[in-house]
Structure 1
Amino acid sequence: MEALGDRESWAAVVKEEEEEEEEEEEEGDSANNIGDAIASTDDEDALKRRISAHPLYGKLVEMHLDCLKVSVMGDVAGDLDHHETRYQQQPKDCNKYPQKMLHQSDLDHFMEAYCVALSKLREAMEEPQQKSMAFISSMHSQLQEMSAIPIAHSNAPAHPLPPPTSSSGK
């Protein structure tokens, strides 16, 4: 029976050691997660700088604003014009960034593909609007034609009937 007790105590010690190791790994993982988060933030900032320094970035922003203009009407479109004007007035000095940042083939492909996608999106949004506007214009023209018809051509009599006279026997 002593051998069984020794095995149980040995198993308990091994289990306790495994639990301690797991706790240490979890603590290390959380420290690594914090470090990864900081590194991730730095990577995101570097990526944002690379994208904004790319020669196609200005075109991409303009195409994005064009898509937004197609999708909205009225005052919002005016606000977008204001933002586009403000963006166009900002200096676009690509020489302030190192040349190695401008020649990133993966980034080039991404920016080109994004510009193509935005162009296709704008076209896809414009087509139904153009059809709707053509329909509205056609209906407006037809309504104008119908309202311009002289009364003589309508179903009403050409000459109005005289008012009835009263025959009260005077």
Structure 2
Amino acid sequence: MEEVYGLMSYQEQVQQQTEVRQKRRIPTVFGSGSSSNNNNNNNTSSRLAEDDISSANRAKIMSHPLYPKLLQAYIACQKVGAPPDIANLFNEIFRENDFRRRSSACSCVGDDPELDQFMETYCEMLDRYRSDLAKPFDEATMFFSNMQTQLSDLCNGASVTNHTGEADKIALAESTGLDQKQINNWFINQRKRHWKPSENMQFAVMDNLYGTSFIVNN
């Protein structure tokens, strides 16, 4: 009996200790939950504060005297290589923003030297970026313009002799990057587009028309 009683006492002690430990954990759990809620509230407050700061900075930028220049430089970058309708849309956006800005209060240069430096630097950076973007398009435009000029010159020269030498066509294909078939087709189309009858042919046609008519009338 004593052994059984001792065993039961031991089990009761273990159970009591377990219950005590569980009770001790309860405040800890509630404490961690409270801490988690505090952290969430702090994070939300931090995000709201950051949003307020961003909105304030955005308002300062939009009211700065260099903002139109900044917006124009940005739109110029977007217009590089854009179709005409998209470029016109960007121009309309700039005009609309410029009108809104004129109707609102603006700051003066010198009120915020750090912002002045930022605006000047960013405008210069966008100008360089636009120049880098436009360079390949300008080179391509110049290339096609030169190619068109060479083809037109050769075609005009060939109209006198009515024939273009194969050596000229080969050289033209090498300089323009076109193949021989494209060069030949271009010359054929140009001859059809700019073909004019010679004076002898015109006289022959007139003689056939009026000569035949004169004979019939007589």
Q: TM-score with structure 1 length normalisation?
A: 0.72
Deviation at 1:59, TM superposition (A): 1.1
Question: CA 1:52–1:27 in 2, change beyond 3 Å: closer, same or farther?
Answer: same
- The reply to whether residue 108 of structure 1 matches residue 116 of structure 2 is yes
Deviates more, 1:130-139 or 1:45-54: 45-54
Please tell me whether the aligned partners of residues 67 and 122 of structure 1 are also in contact (alpha carbons under 8 angstroms).
Answer: yes
- The reply to whether residue 67 of structure 1 matches residue 85 of structure 2 is no
- The reply to whether residue 150 of structure 1 matches residue 156 of structure 2 is no
Q: TM-score with structure 2 length normalisation?
A: 0.58
Deviation at 1:79, TM superposition (A): 2.0
Please tell me whether the aligned partners of residues 60 and 111 of structure 1 are also in contact (alpha carbons under 8 angstroms).
Answer: yes
Question: CA 1:20–1:72 in 2, change beyond 3 Å: closer, same or farther?
Answer: same
Q: Which has the higher helix share?
A: 2
Which 5+ residue runs of structure 2 have no aligned equivalent?
Answer: 1-9, 166-218
Question: CA 1:3–1:126 in 2, change beyond 3 Å: closer, same or farther?
Answer: same
Q: Which is greater in Rg?
A: 2
2:54 to 44, 47, 57: 44
Question: CA 1:101–1:21 in 2, change beyond 3 Å: closer, same or farther?
Answer: farther
Which 5+ residue runs of structure 1 have no aligned equivalent?
Answer: 157-170
Please tell me whether the aligned partners of residues 50 and 101 of structure 1 are also in contact (alpha carbons under 8 angstroms).
Answer: no
Alignment-derived partner of residue 213 in structure 2: none
Deviation at 1:3, TM superposition (A): 6.0
Question: What secondary structure is seen at the aligned counterpart in 1 of 2:83?
Answer: coil
Deviation at 1:43, TM superposition (A): 2.1
Distance 1:19 1:100 in 2: 57
Distance 1:50 1:86 in 2: 19
User: What amino acid maps onto 1:114 in structure 2?
Assistant: Y
Deviation at 1:81, TM superposition (A): 2.3
Alignment-derived partner of residue 30 in structure 1: 40
User: What amino acid maps onto 2:44 in structure 1?
Assistant: I
Question: CA 1:101–1:26 in 2, change beyond 3 Å: closer, same or farther?
Answer: farther
Deviation at 1:7, TM superposition (A): 4.5
Please tell me whether the aligned partners of residues 77 and 126 of structure 2 are also in contact (alpha carbons under 8 angstroms).
Answer: yes
Deviation at 1:121, TM superposition (A): 0.6
* Aligned residue pair count: 154
Alignment-derived partner of residue 168 in structure 1: none
| 1:154-169 pair list within 5 angstroms | 154=163
Identity, in percent, stands at: 21
